[in-house]
């Protein structure tokens, strides 16, 4: 495409659209996760209600004899009942939290219903009605103040997020036909608050085309332009608005989108409504078929980040004497720096600088890995040969993990010019970039299964990529721990390690 067409990829304009559907700017922003915010709100409500009830119980019990076991059970059950009624009343619907009254009204309704149920249960249990009303007159408004305070603070924070452009997941739409037009009209009519349109794309778009807009939205380009904008703008969701009956065209679209870490949703046409059971997602009031998910999202992403940072910090602390000893050996063995820095592909094809202990003579270094290391490679130093055979040259990459560029477990990052035979990896394996949907790792499923070292044939890199994609599709903390244990027990060494 020409530069003129590309310049419009991130500037979608629709007359009359609300702010929530305003186009994303050219600045990459990480959108706020509605799931995480609402779960944290429920946790904050639980903590505040428990703390408030405990404080009230303590103050009310001064000078009195109290059965703490029964009182503690009553507080916990009351909080649990309250959270359930708050949920049923819609107090944890993210789209309501950005408006004071819409946020406070369901909290008021849910808490009032909770108080009524508990008051009825206490009086039916034999407690005097006057005493129960006196206690409720303190407990009910105190809980209401707590709930209202938390929501008002969150409302202020959501305002700051909205001004920073972090509210609403950035959504791209693929297609300009009748399905896409119906979808756009629906989104405009319902003023979806949980999304903002980041671009309209057409898989058959040509820069010379006279059709440059769809219902007022300027077309940002074809699928290749969409892939580039996903990486540049941080688009998290793509809605494919193409006929499901056009299976070849749809398959091509989905295959290309598998190269990037996005949620892919398919807007059903008439044929789609005749399909069997599908998982669905609701975006802006529209029901969409789930075609593909990001490998890590919401709590899974947080769990992976905590796992990486905590383990990396612990491991670096434990092995710091070993790192210093290896650094000393490298300096004594041959002149040159201790560390070797190499540009490699990271998450979403972004370039990162991977750290390794230097294992080659400094004057023979190969920064782009244009020639893979082979057995008895004359470029490798004596200390370097041992470090490579034991994979200790990878230990500085725990610093990459702490910097957030890598994970402990993930697809190994490959050098830019790495080849299988005479072909670059990305040319040797179709959809090779799919492995970049997660952060690269120090060790991985492919490595502990023996697929490491030189790649003389295309089959070797294909097997490595197959294992990487298996890991991405089946990620869990349990699988990570399994890979780490196998690595420690020798799964990252062997006859291919040199």
Q: Is residue 496 part of a domain?
A: no
Which position has the token pair 């990896």? 425
Q: Is the residue at 497 inside a domain?
A: no
* Same structural domain, 157 and 172: no
Q: Do 20 and 90 fall into the same domain?
A: no
Same domain for 200 and 134, yes or no, is no
**304 burial via Cβ count (<10 Å: 0-12, 13-18, 19+):** buried
pLDDT band at 94 (very low <50, low <70, confident <90, very high): confident
498 assigned to some structural domain: no
Two structure tokens written together for 218: 């300027």
Q: Say whether pLDDT at 58 is over 70.
A: no
Are 140 and 174 in the same domain?
A: no
> What tokens does 13 get?
């304009």
Q: 205 and 257: one domain?
A: yes
CA distances for 343 relative to 57, 413, 416, 454, 492, angstroms? 61, 9, 7, 18, 22
The residue assigned the tokens 């789609």 is: 272
Within this chain, do residues 148 and 210 fall inside the same structural domain, yes or no?
A: no
Who's near 472: CB < 8 A, 6+ residues apart? 295, 411, 434, 435, 437, 438
Report strand pairing: 237-240 vs 263-266: parallel
pTM: 0.63
Range of the domain at 132: 34-163
Using one digit for the tens of pLDDT, what is the confidence trace for 183-221?
Answer: 888 777 766 656 778 889 987 776 656 667 777 777 888
Domain shared by 439 and 485, yes or no: yes
- Domains in the chain, number: 3
- Residue 381 within any structural domain of the chain: yes
- The answer as to whether 348 is a domain residue is yes
CB 241 within 8 Å of CB 183: yes
Same domain, 65 and 201: no
Of the three residues 292, 320, 346, the one that is the final residue of a domain is 292
Instruction: Identify the CATH number of the domain in which residue 243 sits.
Output: 3.40.50.720
More confident site: 139 or 496 = 139
Please indicate, yes or no, whether residues 92 and 176 belong to a single structural domain of this protein.
no
C-beta separation of 439 from 410 below 8 A: yes
Residue 216 main-chain phi, psi, to 5 deg = 90, -15
What is the per-residue pLDDT across 7-51, written as a single tens digit (0 to 9) for each? Answer: 333 333 333 333 333 444 445 566 777 788 888 888 888 888 777
Give the confidence band of 408 by pLDDT, cuts at 50, 70, 90: very high
Q: Residue 296's closest CA among 197, 467, 410? A: 410
HSE, side-chain direction, 13 A CA sphere, residue 270: 1
Out of 163, 179, 212, pick the residue that ends a domain.
163
**158 and 251 assigned to the same domain:** no
Residues 447 and 420 in one domain: yes
Count Cα atoms within 13 angstroms, Cβ side, for 42: 20
Q: State whether 363 and 253 are in the same domain.
A: no
Of 163, 186, 203, which residue sits at a domain end? Answer: 163
Residues 6 or more apart from 300 whose CB is under 8 A from it? 475
Least confident window among 205-209, 318-322, 332-336:
205-209
């Amino acid at each position: 495409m020409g530069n003129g067409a590309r310049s419009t990829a991130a500037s979608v304009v629709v007359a009359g659209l609300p702010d929530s559907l305003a186009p994303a700017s050219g600045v990459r922003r990480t959108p706020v996760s509605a799931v995480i915010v609402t779960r944290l709100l429920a946790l904050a409500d639980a903590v505040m209600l428990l703390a408030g009830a405990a404080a009230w119980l303590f103050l009310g019990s001064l000078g009195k004899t109290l059965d703490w076991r029964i009182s503690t059970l009553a507080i916990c059950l009351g909080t649990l009942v309250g959270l359930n009624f708050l949920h049923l009343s819609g107090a944890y619907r993210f789209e309501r939290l950005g408006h004071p009254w819409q946020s406070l009204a369901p909290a008021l309704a849910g808490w009032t219903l909770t108080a009524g149920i508990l008051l009825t249960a206490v009086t039916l249990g034999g407690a005097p009605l006057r005493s129960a009303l006196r206690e409720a007159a303190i407990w009910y408004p105190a809980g209401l103040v707590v709930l209202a305070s938390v929501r008002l603070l969150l409302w202020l924070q959501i305002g700051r997020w909205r001004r920073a452009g972090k509210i609403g997941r950035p959504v791209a739409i693929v297609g300009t036909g009748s399905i896409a037009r119906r979808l756009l009209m629906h989104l405009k009519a319902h003023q979806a608050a949980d999304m903002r349109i980041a671009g309209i794309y057409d898989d058959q778009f040509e820069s010379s085309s006279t059709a440059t807009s769809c219902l007022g939205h300027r077309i940002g380009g074809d699928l290749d332009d969409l892939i580039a904008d996903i990486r540049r703008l941080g688009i998290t969701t793509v809605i494919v608005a193409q006929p499901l009956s056009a299976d070849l065209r749809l398959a091509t679209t989905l295959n290309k989108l598998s190269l990037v870490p996005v949620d892919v949703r398919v807007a059903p046409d008439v044929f789609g409504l005749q399909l069997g059971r599908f998982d669905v997602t609701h975006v802006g009031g529209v029901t969409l078929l789930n075609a593909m998910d990001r490998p890590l999202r919401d709590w899974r992403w947080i769990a992976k980040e905590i796992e990486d940072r905590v383990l990396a910090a612990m491991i670096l602390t434990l092995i710091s004497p070993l790192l210093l000893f290896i650094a000393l050996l490298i300096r004594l063995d041959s002149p040159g720096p201790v560390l070797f820095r190499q540009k490699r592909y990271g998450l979403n094809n972004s370039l990162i600088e991977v750290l390794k202990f230097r294992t080659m003579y400094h004057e023979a270094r190969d920064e782009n890995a244009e020639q893979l290391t082979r057995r008895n490679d004359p470029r490798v130093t004596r200390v370097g040969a041992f470090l490579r055979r034991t994979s200790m040259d990878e230990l500085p990459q725990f610093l990459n993990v702490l910097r957030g560029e890598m994970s402990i477990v993930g697809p190994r990052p490959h050098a830019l010019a790495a080849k299988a035979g005479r072909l670059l990896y990305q040319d040797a394996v179709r959809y090779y970039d799919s492995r970049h949907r997660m952060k690269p790792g120090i060790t991985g499923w492919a490595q502990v299964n023996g697929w490491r070292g030189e790649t003389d044939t295309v089959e070797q890199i294909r097997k490595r990529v197959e294992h990487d994609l298996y890991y991405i599709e089946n990620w869990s903390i349990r699988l990570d721990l399994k890979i780490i244990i196998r690595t420690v027990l020798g799964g990252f060494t062997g006859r291919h390690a040199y």
